[in-house]
Amino acid sequence: MNNLERSIFKVLTGNMSKADFEKDLYQPCYIDKIAEDDFIAELIAINYNDRDWKSLLQKIILKIYSEEEFLAHLIKLYCLGILSQDDIESTINILYSLSDYNYQYYYEYDTLIRFNSFYEEYGYIKEGYGLNSEKEFLKEVKSFARFYLDKFENEQQKHQLLFLSLNREKYHSTEMQNISSNDLVEYAKNRILNIESKKNTLKYIGAFVYDKNLIDHIYSEARNKAFQHLFPLGLTYLTVGIPLLIAGILGVSSQKEISYVYILILLGSGLTLTGLYYVAQISYLLIRKQKTSKKN
């Protein structure tokens, strides 16, 4: 990892200010390489005053790092930040950032799930439902961060760092122990059927469940139930919508009554688009499932 790449990871994790990063980036040694180095040219082309500068920067660094390598190095810097902080709020801010990556990568990595569980747990501690005190909680977070850093130094295959064992399947309170996986499956299914994001669905599940296998099972069951509802519904809309749309188009070409033709076109278009949307949702879920299976 060269100095510029190191600076990218630092600014993405808040260990370097945006101003200092730009100061490093706009040095003559990099400016002179714009014509011959696409990586540097893309970095310099970013407007760092834009709201999405971080996401653009992340996309560029992912061109030279694999997803797993990128996350492994990112988590390392966040862990260093956790160990350097003594106040709870700064630690929670770091956990929030790690949780965001957990949602972004769809609960695929055990290590991110673990950090997400810490973040969710703190919310319940604040409300008086936590199993640990703030002091015990902070100690546990630091312990896991230290564990990760030890593994980072000794692990040659960095992608293995994303699959550290959770050894933890617990619920936040006595009331939550009564929530069955079937209840969560039903909730998740309804979220999917309402075309709400997987991120929000899994965020709900993640507030209760810390075990990756159980989360995968819950979402898999919910996906299957959604498939049973959405796919036939999508095909039905397409079966009805496409003929109506074709009839409307033919009506235009044969110069039939305009109002009648427009009704056919609007109705056919609406049904066809809705059907395509439902089928696309299911296709996305299936493709995502295949990608996840290949990784595992």
Contacts of 144 (CB under 8 A, 6+ apart): 114, 115, 118
CA distances for 76 relative to 36, 73, 151, 152, 161, angstroms: 31, 5, 10, 7, 10
3-class SS letters over the chain: CCHHHHHHHHHHCCCCCHHHHHHHHCCHHHHCCCCCCHHHHHHHHCCCCCCCHHHHHHHHHCCCCCHHHHHHHHHHHHHHHHHHCCCHHHHHHHHHHHHHHHHHCCCCCHHHHHHHHHHHHHHHHHCCCCCCCHHHHHHHHHHHHHHHHHHHHHCCCHHHHHHCCCCCCCCCCHHHHCCCHHHHHHHHHHHHHCCCCHHHHHHHHHCCCCCHHHHHHHHHHHHHHHHHHHHHHHHHHHHHHHHHHHHHHHHHHCCCCHHHHHHHHHHHHHHHHHHHHHHHHHHHHHHHHHHHHHHC
CA distances for 67 relative to 59, 74, 92, 287, 288, angstroms: 10, 11, 24, 18, 15
> 94 near 74, Cβ under 8 Å?
no
What is the per-residue pLDDT for 171? 32
Residues in the chain: 296
> 238 near 280, Cβ under 8 Å?
no
What is the per-residue pLDDT for 176? 40
Q: How far apart (Å, rounded) are the C-alpha atoms in residues 127 and 209? A: 18
What is the per-residue pLDDT for 70? 95
Evaluated on CA atoms 124, 126, 130, 134, the torsion sign reads positive
- In the chain, domain spans: 3-61, 68-177, 216-295
Residue 117: closest CA among 73, 182, 196, 172: 172
What is the per-residue pLDDT for 250? 79
What is the per-residue pLDDT for 174? 38
In the chain, the amino acid numbered 276 is: L
- Reported as half-sphere exposure (CB side, CA atoms, 13 A), residue 87 has a value of 3
Instruction: Enumerate residue ranges in the chain where pLDDT < 70.
Output: 129-131, 165-229, 252-258, 281-282, 284-296
Residue 57: closest CA among 4, 8, 23: 8
> 113 near 107, Cβ under 8 Å?
yes
What is the per-residue pLDDT for 157? 78
